[in-house]
Amino acid sequence: MASAYRDNKLAATNYDIHDLIKKRWSPRAFSEKPIEPGLLRQLFDAARWAPSSYNEQPWRFVVATKNHQEEYDRMTQVLNKNNKRWAPNAPVLMLTLKKDQFDKNNTINKHAAHDLGQAVSYMTFEAMRHNIYLHQMAGILPDVARELFHIPEHYTPMTMIAAGYLGNPDMLPDDLQKKEVSGRSRLEIDEIVFRGQWDNPKRL
Ligand SMILES: Cc1cc2nc3c(=O)[nH]c(=O)nc-3n(C[C@H](O)[C@H](O)[C@H](O)COP(=O)(O)O)c2cc1C
C-alpha cells in the first residue's frame, strides 16, 4: 500500500508543471524521524525570501519540536479537537502568525495574511525537495496560543503547520486512514480564471 497510495496523491495536472507541485499533499500520518535542525532552519530561509507588500515580511513562526517535549506539548494544546487526533504524529509543529500593522506608520497591513501564505508556500516547496511534507491547519485555538506563548498584541495567530516525513497510514484512526489514501481533486482552470467581465467570462 505504501507507494500505491502515494501515486494516488499525485496531482492530475493538465500541463507538465513542476514535480514538487505535483507531489505535494497534506498528510496526517508522519514518521517518527525528526527533521534535522539545520534543515528546519533552511525551510525558514526559503520562507523569508517570499515577496511581501512593502517588503514588510509580516510572517512570524513559533516552532516546537518533539525533542523539546514541554514546548511541544504546549503547542499541541493550541490544536482544536479534530486536529489533535493526528497532528501530534508530526515531529514538528509550528504556529504561524501575521504581524497586523506596518512598522513605519502603525496602519493596518491588509495583505499580511496574504503574505504569510506566500511565505508558507515557499517553505512548503523547499520542504518537498527534502521529502518533508507540511499540513496546514486553520483548526487552532488562537486565544490559547496567545496565552501559552505570550503572543503580544498586533500579532495574530493564523494557522498551525504539522511538518515531517511521510508515515504509515495504518497509524491513523479508520476515518482518517481513508482520507490519507484517497485521491485529490481541484476546480478546473476555467472555473477559476477568466478574461473579460465576471458576468460575461471569456476563456483564457
Ligand atoms: C489555511 C488552511 C487551513 C487548513 N485547515 C485544516 C485543518 O484545520 N485541518 C485539516 O485536517 N486540514 C486542514 N487544511 C488542509 C486542507 O484540507 C488541504 O490542503 C486540502 O484539502 C487540499 O488537500 P491537499 O493539501 O492534500 O492537496 C488546511 C489547509 C489550509 C491551506
CATH number of the domain enclosing 169: 3.40.109.10
Q: Structurally, how many domains does the chain consist of?
A: 1
Contacts of 194 (CB under 8 A, 6+ apart): 201, 202, 203, 204
When the pLDDT of each residue in the chain is averaged and rounded to a whole number, the result is: 97
Contacts of 1 (CB under 8 A, 6+ apart): 169, 181
122-157 residue pLDDT tens: 999 999 999 999 999 999 999 999 999 999 999 999
Which residue is associated with the grid cell 504569510?
116
Interatomic CA distance for residues 2 and 144, integer angstroms: 36
Give me the pLDDT at residue 5, please.
82
Ligand 1 atom 7: residue of nearest CA: 137
What average pLDDT does the segment 83-96 reach? 98
Give me the pLDDT at residue 6, please.
84
159-200 residue pLDDT tens: 999 999 999 999 999 999 999 999 999 999 999 999 999 999
Strand, helix or coil for residue 22: helix
What average pLDDT does the segment 106-117 reach? 98
Atom of ligand 1 at shortest range from CA of 25? 26
41-79 residue pLDDT tens: 999 999 999 999 999 999 999 999 999 999 999 999 999
Q: What is the CA(103)–ligand 1 centre distance, in A?
A: 31
For residue 104, what are the domain limits?
Answer: 2-202
Atom of ligand 1 at shortest range from CA of 184? 27
Q: What is the CA(95)–ligand 1 centre distance, in A?
A: 15
